[in-house]
Amino acid sequence: MTDDKTLIGRLKRGDKTALESIYLKYRPRLIATACSYNVDSNQAEDVLHDVFLSLTYRIREFDIQYSLYGYLRAGIVNGIRDILRRRVRQERALVHNAVPDSLLYSPQAGLIKSEETERAEDLLSVLPDCQREVVRLRIQHGLKFREIAGLQGISSSTARGRYRYGISRLRSLQL
């Protein structure tokens, strides 16, 4: 296989086969990375194509200092994060639309909601930032540990541990 610096040099000179070589070389690993974030294969392919399109647009100023795979993987992860954020916003909108406005905006519901939110924020504020973020993503946004790990750039087991320690701390505070 041709090394990455050579492929980038050829691509900068307009060699279309260089892009194809890069694509064929890294596609399986990049698709696997994308699919590990719980997106379907079509979304993974779309993000992959966007990353390669971005590479071709920026090839003139592109300077490979580290690994080409690392650059491409970062593009994949960022694209997947965008998809996950959109998914969370859409799910929130669906939930909001499913609850009758009379319940959402009644004075009693507003008071209860604000009291619950204030209590939750007070409890969460005692957690270290890393645990607080995992607990919020898991509970408020319903993300899986794999998705949280991808968003934060940590392993799934680290995300699970932070969640477990955070919940344990919250439980001890509520007693």
Quick: pLDDT tens for 61-116.
777 677 888 889 889 988 888 888 887 777 666 655 554 555 445 555 544 555 65
Q: For position 152, what pLDDT does the model report?
A: 79
Distance CA 82, CA 109 (A): 32
Q: For position 140, what pLDDT does the model report?
A: 74
Residue-range domain boundaries for the chain: 4-82, 115-174
Top-level class of domain 115-174:
mainly alpha
Q: Tell which residue, 25, 77, 13, 68, has the closest CA to residue 50.
A: 77
**Is the domain covering 4-82 a CATH 3.90.230.10 domain?**
no
Distance CA 150, CA 54 (A): 21
